């Protein structure tokens, strides 16, 4: 199972403590759908990370869960806006985007054409 799906499951389990009830319900159903699709093998990493980054509390918690040792490096300082959750890599052919959450793993190749992914602009 992809790291992002595991991350989504863990964050989803803590939604009630991270968000006001009305936000938590909407995020819960959106995450639930993405987790289900991820379990079926669909590529859901990008929508999961976009959803988590949309809420500052979720972004902070996701960064902690993804990499407790280094999360300070990827959590934006107070007042910063829209910093990436994790380093972003892109296929040079423009058909794949990958967020490198677990830095202890190698960056994969593009699943579509096998190209080596290149560091991209912050997503
Ligand atoms: Zn590609």
Find the domain containing 88 and state its range: 3-120
Residue 72 has pLDDT above 50, yes or no: no
- Give the whole-angstrom CA distance, residue 109 versus residue 116: 5
CA of 14 to the centre of ligand 1 (A): 34
Residue 31 has pLDDT above 90, yes or no: yes
What contacts 55, CB < 8 A, 6 or more positions away?
Answer: 18, 19, 23, 27
Q: How many folded domains does the chain comprise?
A: 1
Closest CA to 97 of 112, 80, 83: 112
CA of 12 to the centre of ligand 1 (A): 30
Tally the residues of the chain.
123
Tell me the CA distances in angstroms from 85 to 23, 34, 58, 93, 114, one per residue in order: 20, 18, 10, 23, 25
Q: Are strands 97-99 and 118-119 parallel, antiparallel or unpaired?
A: unpaired
Residue 73's pLDDT is 45
Binned at pLDDT 50, 70 and 90, residue 77 comes out as low
| pLDDT above 90 as % of the chain | 45
CA of 115 to the centre of ligand 1 (A): 6
pTM over 0.85: no
């Amino acid at each position: 199972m992809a790291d992002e799906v595991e991350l989504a499951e863990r964050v989803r389990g803590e939604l009630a403590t991270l968000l006001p009830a009305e936000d938590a319900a909407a995020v819960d159903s959106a995450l639930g759908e993405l987790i289900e699709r991820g379990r079926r093998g669909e590529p859901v990493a990008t929508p999961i990370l976009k959803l988590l980054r949309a809420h500052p509390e979720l972004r902070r918690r996701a960064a902690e869960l993804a990499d407790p040792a280094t999360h300070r490096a990827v959590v934006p300082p107070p007042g910063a806006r829209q910093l990436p959750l994790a380093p972003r890599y892109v296929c040079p052919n423009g058909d794949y985007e990958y967020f490198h959450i677990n830095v202890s793993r190698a960056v994969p190749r593009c699943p579509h054409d096998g190209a080596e992914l290149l560091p991209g602009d912050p997503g």
